[in-house]
Amino acid sequence: MFVSKQEIEDRIISILRNQFLKYSNEVLEKYKNQIEATVKWYVKSLPRHVASSEADDLTSEAKIAFIEALKTWDPRKGELWPYVSVRLKGSMQDFLRKRGSDPVAGMYEFITSAANVYMAFNRQTVHHDKIDDILHVDSAMKVLDNNEKQVISKYYRDDKTFKEIGKEIGLSESQVSRIAKTATLKLKKSLTGEKLKKPVQ
Amino acid sequence: MADRRIGKKLKISGRIKQISTNMPVGLPPVLRRFWGFARDMAKRFSKNLHQNREDELLRAVEKDFKKGL
């Protein structure tokens, strides 16, 4: 039976690795400080609201990733820490992405929620207090184009979400959000008697 | 002349320091050929542990290879 050099080396590595993995807790203990430093360094780069809520979870996630990385580390290709540290960062990113709090993945949610807060604020001040009371809605609505009128009436009168409105009109949620924002500004200006500037095309 | 000799280090030639990790007796021929590699890799694994477990790791390799290829 012919066995190549590569096969024998692989077998030796696999035996050594199996034996080595029995002491994975010992390895984890040895690299504990470095893992924590990596997590701290990564957490620093995150927005504050994410960092405060996810720091503990990220540490445990990093430790799990460390143990996983030990299973695939090949000493022929280099030292342990450089190999593992890259994987730690990747696993933390994956974790945040799955949780939906990754800085990039969460950007959309952040903008939507900010828009909602903004709209909620405007709903109180502009519409409830002024539009309903002064009953100038119809005249104010003349400033808006068709899409804007639809969005505003569906959002404020029918109490629908941007997503639902978007489906009905055939626009995306973010487009509806943008339309609602500009329409509200137009209404606000119209009701307070400010002259509207012509939109730049 | 005598003063110069005192300052120089004494050179002992013809004696090589014995290697501490000798190849164990009764190793299968295949592993005998790859013993250097196995020892080197065991050292690299062991470096990441608190204790030096090189011998223990090598014993596991030896035991496995004795079962045959």
Q: So what's the ipTM on this one?
A: 0.70
* Interface residue A21 vs chain B (CB under 8 A): no
pLDDT tops 90 at residue B46: yes
- Confidence grade of residue A155 (pLDDT, cut at 50, 70, 90): confident
Q: When comparing pLDDT for B41 and A152, which is higher?
A: B41
Q: What is the reported pLDDT for A109?
A: 57
| Helix A80-99 vs helix A48-72: crossing angle, to nearest 10 | 130
Q: Is the pLDDT of residue B37 over 90?
A: yes
Q: Which two tokens stand for residue A160?
A: 């629908």
Q: What is the spatial distance between Cα A2 and Cα A8, in angstroms, rounded to a whole number?
A: 11
Helix (H) or strand (E) holding A125: none
pLDDT at A71 over 60: yes
pLDDT in tens, A97-154: 877 655 555 555 556 666 666 666 565 555 555 545 545 566 667 778 888 888 888 8
Neighbour-count burial of A56, counting CB atoms closer than 10 A to its CB (0-12 exposed, 13-18 middle, 19+ buried): exposed
The CATH code of domain A5-99 reads 1.10.1740.10
CB atoms < 10 A from the CB of A45, how many? 8
Q: Which two tokens stand for residue A186?
A: 């137009």
pLDDT in tens, A156-195: 777 788 888 888 888 888 888 888 888 888 877 776 664 4
In the prediction, which pLDDT does A23 show?
A: 93
Q: Which amino acid is at B23?
A: M
Query: What one-character DSSP code corresponds to residue B16?
Result: -
Q: Show me where the domains of chain A are located.
A: 5-99, 107-191
Lowest mean pLDDT among A9-13, A150-154, B36-40, B49-53: A150-154
Q: Which long-range contacts (CB under 8 A, 24 or more apart) does A1-9 make?
A: A1/B69, A3/B30, A3/B69, A8/B30, A8/B34, A9/A76, A9/B34, A9/B37
Instruction: Work out the percent of chain A whose per-residue pLDDT is above 70.
Output: 74
The residue among B44, B58, B63 with the most chain A CBs within 10 A of its CB, best to mutate, is B44
Q: pLDDT-based confidence at B21, cuts 50/70/90?
A: low
Tell me whether residues A15 and B64 touch, CB distance under 8 A: yes
Q: Which residues of B touch A16 (CB under 8 A)?
A: 38, 41-42, 45, 57, 60-61
Nearest to A64 by CA among A20, A42, A94: A94
> Most confidently modeled of A12-21, A48-57, B1-10?
A12-21
Do A20 and B38 count as a contact with CB atoms less than 8 A apart?
no
Whether B45 sits inside 8 A of A12 (CB atoms) is no
The CATH number of A107-191 is which of 3.30.420, 1.20.120, 1.10.260, 1.10.10? 1.10.10
Would you say residue A10 has pLDDT above 60?
A: yes
Q: Any chain A CB within 8 A of the CB of B29?
A: no
Residue A175 pLDDT: 87
Match 């299973």 to its residue by tokens: A71
pLDDT value of residue A149: 84
